[in-house]
Structure 1
Amino acid sequence: MDRRELIKQIALLTGGIMIGGNALLTGCSPNKSAKNEKIRFSQQQQDLLNEIGDTILPPTKSPGAKAANVGAFMEIMVRDCYEEKDQQAFIDGMKKLDEASKKIHGNGFMTINAQQKLAFIQQLDKEASDFQAKKGELEAAERKKDKNFAGLPNHYFIMIKQLTLLGYFTSEVGCTQAMRYTPAPGRYEGDVPYQKGDKAWA
């Protein structure tokens, strides 16, 4: 599966467009300002993102998202591929997520149990999907008031979810253990039989 196809699949899975997708496809780093270079996630933030990622893609027969260290991957993607408003929404979102967990469960996301984490993420996923579906409407209403309105940032959880999927399925762990993998160079086989339930090819 090539990068373009993976981005398309992630966009379909998350009900919209791949945020920062143009930068990914062109291989550019559009955000190289001094301000963006200062974007660094602490180890605690990376651990939180890895834990969220592992709730979205938990270990099964293959390792989960935490094994691919998706938290470190997200830092690079947020810094290099996101617009400033989405960068800020993502950074603020990590704090909002932990605060919401404390409000609902009395503890931060890292310390609640697996069942609570899953229920919390499912609720957050619905909230994010609902927001993204209404985003165009909300922006149109704001533009009627202010012609220079630059647009709303995307919901932080949609970005976390997209980057979890992208980070995992482009990692060594995701490519070699979650998908079928044949190292190259190797013998060319133009017609490989498919069995129902087979993993996708990396």
Structure 2
Amino acid sequence: MIDRRHALAGMAALFAAPLFAPIARAAGLAGPATRPVVSEGAPSVQVFTPAQHTLMTQLSERILPTTDTPGAIAAGVPAYIAKLLADWALPAERIPILAGLDAIEAKSQQDYKISATQASPDQQDALLTAAMNAQFAGGAAFFEAFRQLVITGYYTSEIGMTQEQEYLPVPGEYHGDYLYSKVNKVYTA
């Protein structure tokens, strides 16, 4: 059975940008860990304010929403992000995420006159797009780090590994002429 640390190391190649330092550290790709290895239990410190935690939870679901498979919330991504930032991130490495959440809240207040947590899904998508396109200070740094956190959290979760992808411990025979249109899921081994 693959553990989360090995899955994180395998996912590192998926990102075109440099890997967010806490993810690299947790995967064992960033030299010796400068933080203690804490893999179970609640986060050792509270990183988010209640409002930031609510917004982080909602935005993670906007990046990987529930479709025919469970989304980020069902996969436990918000808890993963809180744990990773609390136990694997240095205080300075948390700044892009925390500042980005605050900037998204400010942009929502400016553009929509409501809290980002009360914004509609389309409005939250627009706020994430603005971050991705660096339309406010720190937006691009926030978006890249946050996207990596959500994707690694999802695809190293049980739901991501077993429901989004199909695990075949011993893949079947090779069919070089298998039509792509017949592929149902991405297979991992």
Q: TM-score, normalised by structure 2?
A: 0.74
- Contact conserved, 1:90 with 1:156, CA < 8 A, in 2? yes
- Contact conserved, 2:9 with 2:28, CA < 8 A, in 1? no
Report the CA distance between 1:30 and its aligned residue.
2.1
Once residues 125 and 180 of structure 1 are traced to their aligned partners in structure 2, the CA distance between those partners, rounded to angstroms, is: 30
Once residues 97 and 119 of structure 1 are traced to their aligned partners in structure 2, the CA distance between those partners, rounded to angstroms, is: 10
Q: How does 1:128-147 map to 2 (within 5 A)?
A: none
> 3-state DSSP class of the match of 1:117?
helix
- 1:52 equivalent to 2:54? Answer no
Alignment-mate amino acid for residue 64 of structure 1: G
Report the CA distance between 1:191 and its aligned residue.
2.8
Q: How does 1:96-111 map to 2 (within 5 A)?
A: 96-111=103-118
User: Match for residue 142 of structure 1?
Assistant: none
- 1:40 equivalent to 2:47? Answer yes
Once residues 28 and 55 of structure 2 are traced to their aligned partners in structure 1, the CA distance between those partners, rounded to angstroms, is: 29
Report the CA distance between 1:41 and its aligned residue.
2.9
> 3-state DSSP class of the match of 1:63?
coil
Report the CA distance between 1:51 and its aligned residue.
0.8
The correspondence for 1:191, drawn from 142, 163, 173, is 173
Report the CA distance between 1:69 and its aligned residue.
2.5
- 1:75 equivalent to 2:82? Answer yes
Deviations 1:9-42 (A, max 9, x none): 0x22xxx11112431221865235xxx9434334
Report the CA distance between 1:200 and its aligned residue.
2.1
Q: Sort the Cα spacing of 1:170 and 1:192 in 2 relative to 1 into closer, same or farther, 3 A.
A: farther
Between the two structures, name the one with larger relative contact order (CA 8 Å, sep ≥ 6): 1
User: Match for residue 141 of structure 1?
Assistant: none
Report the CA distance between 1:55 and its aligned residue.
0.8
Unaligned runs of 5+ in 1: 133-153
Once residues 92 and 157 of structure 2 are traced to their aligned partners in structure 1, the CA distance between those partners, rounded to angstroms, is: 27
Q: Sort the Cα spacing of 1:88 and 1:119 in 2 relative to 1 into closer, same or farther, 3 A.
A: closer
Unaligned runs of 5+ in 2: 1-5, 37-42
Once residues 162 and 171 of structure 2 are traced to their aligned partners in structure 1, the CA distance between those partners, rounded to angstroms, is: 19
Report the CA distance between 1:199 and its aligned residue.
2.2
- Contact conserved, 1:47 with 1:71, CA < 8 A, in 2? no
Report the CA distance between 1:56 and its aligned residue.
1.0
Deviations 1:80-137 (A, max 9, x none): 3333322123223222221211111111222111211212211211218x979xxxxx
The correspondence for 1:181, drawn from 142, 167, 184, is 167
Q: CA RMSD in A?
A: 2.9
Q: How many residues are matched?
A: 169
Alignment-mate amino acid for residue 28 of structure 2: T
Report the CA distance between 1:168 and its aligned residue.
0.6
User: Match for residue 20 of structure 2?
Assistant: 19
- 1:6 equivalent to 2:3? Answer no
Once residues 76 and 162 of structure 2 are traced to their aligned partners in structure 1, the CA distance between those partners, rounded to angstroms, is: 15
Once residues 52 and 33 of structure 2 are traced to their aligned partners in structure 1, the CA distance between those partners, rounded to angstroms, is: 22
Alignment-mate amino acid for residue 4 of structure 1: A
